[in-house]
Amino acid sequence: MDCPFCAMPAEQMVLENEHAKAFFDKYPVQKGHLLIVPKRHIANYFEATEKEILAIHRLLQEGKGRLDQEFAPDGYNIGVNVGLYGGQTVMHLHVHLIPRYKGDVADPRGGIRKAIPNLVPYPPEEKERNHADLYAHRKRKNGVDLRAGSYCLR
């Protein structure tokens, strides 16, 4: 097997747990760009076990803490590419933790939506709207009001 993630030298690991490991991306999008991968060689997210997903999630949290201390980013993108047409270039599941910095792009609105340019454009002069207002009429099955900030997707 010729997998760069399986063959990654131990000294390049930044974080590790029983089922996953993290290291800095060889071709970083931003300074501090981390990759989190399962130790078991699997092609994509949908092949991962619950234990592997939890291990990856824990390293995402730990990685964010480390990046906050070392680089003090202003935001983050978390991404997973699945399959050739989803943008995956190394066929070993890997999750990108990409620090974002104020001013790194002219208009950060939309974040990962810009993976397919101009597919979902934002009008340049659109008034800022609270995402929660778009869903004010909806409630979760458990009765939680989606207008509460902690339940809004941003």
Q: How many other C-beta atoms can be found within 10 angstroms of the C-beta atom of residue 57? A: 13
According to the 3-state scheme, what is the secondary structure of 85-146? HHCCCCCCCCEEEEEECCCCCCCCCCHHHHHCCCCCCCCCCCCCCCHHHHCCCCECCCCCEC
Residues involved in catalysis: 94
